[in-house]
Amino acid sequence: MPAVPLPAGFVAHTGHAGLRPDGDDIAVFLSTRPCTSAGLFTRSRFSGPSVTLSRPRAVSGAARAVVVIAKNANVATGPQGFRDAEEVTALVARAVGIPVEEILIASTGVIGRPYPMDLLRAHLAGLPRARFDADAQQVARAMMTTDTVSKTAVQRAGPARVVGVAKGVGMIEPDMATMLAFVLTDAAADPATLAKLWERAVSDTFNCLSIDTDTSTSDTAVVLANGAAGPVSEAALAVALREVCLDLTLQLARDGEGATKLLTVTVRAAADEGQARRVAKAVVNSPLVKTAVHGADPNWGRVAMAIGKCQDDRDIDPERVVIRFGDLETYPDRPDEKGLASLAEIMAADHVEIEIELRTGSAESTVYGCDLSADYVRINADYTT
């Protein structure tokens, strides 16, 4: 993997604290100058101390450092879990000389186990002497749990760079944000503008991703902008943020647990964006659609079934709906034997695109997912054992 340099004014440390047998499992990255921040977090009723602690700090608009811990979610760990998270950010604050309120924490892995605090304390004791020379690729790698590849994305916005890292391949149907995604930029942006651009970028990228309908307790999406590259047009920054988020979203979908294919579902001519997304999500989340895509089984009728699940959308009329796989219409113009053979070929590709026209209006939405394989079951049937 080629190195992915951080934007100007950002540095990162990655290291092995011992949460996994081998490889980096802790990352700390920060802006060497004051910066602005925006963050979106899981709405889970069981969100953990990382989210509870980081949310107000990110939303304040002045966060400038993040510590990420892999293999342990520190969720459902009671009051001790909250004290542990506070201690970790305090140890990082002391080591890097930044006020603790400017330090965020993110953590994913097994739910319900306390942090191994002895290991974390021992590692963080060495942080003041540690080298902060990691690039974005190393940070992305240190964050991984069941991910099989690290995910980074880079865009330019005028003179500034926008660099994103993300992780997460299971327990993924983000509602406010995704598993873990961090975007760093040396563009300058005031907190209100940054919050607005971030919400817009996340809304139709990470929030349109579903690997398995299971919303994580730890979803966190944070952007830090330190202005080292000077002012940037809002439009250019908006485009760059969206492109970085979309790039990471596609990488997350392709690396879904056990996934062999990327599945995208676009709903057009919908009454409004809510309807478009509801129908698209019903299709991308249907285990029967996902298994058919996995097996390249030309069983297009399951898409009709999944659309039908949107029972409260009384304006959806089967006599007006059109369903396509790539360029091939499968409903109402049903494929014959030869058409089914073409459909099987389309479904055997490593990216399957389903397009639906509802003809209830003019809104549209695209969602991102993957197929469902026996490997997903295998990975998750013995995750902790």
* Binding-site ranges for a second copy (CB under 8 A): 42-47, 73, 75-78, 110-113, 170-171, 175, 212-217, 285-288, 291-292, 294-295, 297-302, 304-311, 313-314, 316-318, 330-332, 334, 344, 372-374, 376-378, 380-385
- The single residue listed with the structure tokens 């990216």 is 351
User: Is 77 labeled as catalytic in the residue annotation?
Assistant: no
Residue with smaller CB distance to a second copy, 59 or 110: 110
Tell me how crowded residue 113 is: count the other CB atoms within 10 A of its CB. Answer: 16
Tell me whether residue 131 or residue 320 sits nearer to a second copy (CB atom).
Answer: 320
Shortest distance, position 337 Cβ to a second copy, whole Å = 11
- Label each residue of the chain as H, E or C: CCCCCCCCCEEEEEECCCCCCCCCCEEEEEECCCCEEEEEECCCCCCCHHHHHHHHHHHCCCCCEEEEEEEECCCCCHHHHHHHHHHHHHHHHHHHCCCHHHEEEEEEEECCCCCCHHHHHHHHHCHHHCCCCCCHHHHHHHHCCCCCCCEEEEEEECCEEEEEEEECCCCCCCCCCCCEEEEEECCECCHHHHHHHHHHHHHCCHHHECCCCCCCCCCEEEEEECCCCCECCHHHHHHHHHHHHHHHHHHHHHCCCCCCCEEEEEEEEECCHHHHHHHHHHHHHCHHHHHHHHHCCCCCHHHHHHHHCCCCCCCCCCCCCEEEECCEEEECCCCCHHHHHHHHHHHHCCEEEEEEECCCCCEEEEEEEECCCHHHHHHHHCCCC
Nearest-approach distance from CB 384 to a second copy, in angstroms: 5
Q: Tokens 């091939």, residue?
A: 328
In the sheet with 103-110, reading across from the earlier edge strand, the strands are: 10-15, 26-31, 65-72, 103-110
Query: Least CB distance from residue 129 to a second copy, whole Å?
Result: 35
Instruction: State which residue, 59 or 154, has the beta carbon closest to a second copy.
Output: 59
Which of the following is catalytic: 36, 42, 89, 178? 178
Least Å from the CB of residue 116 to a second copy: 14
Q: How far is the CB of 1 from a second copy (least distance, A)?
A: 29
- Tell the smallest beta-carbon distance from residue 194 to a second copy (Å): 25
| CB 379 to a second copy: min, Å | 8
Residue with Cβ nearer a second copy (47 or 205): 47
The values of phi and psi at residue 288, to 5°, are: -75, -35
- Which residues form the catalytic set? 178
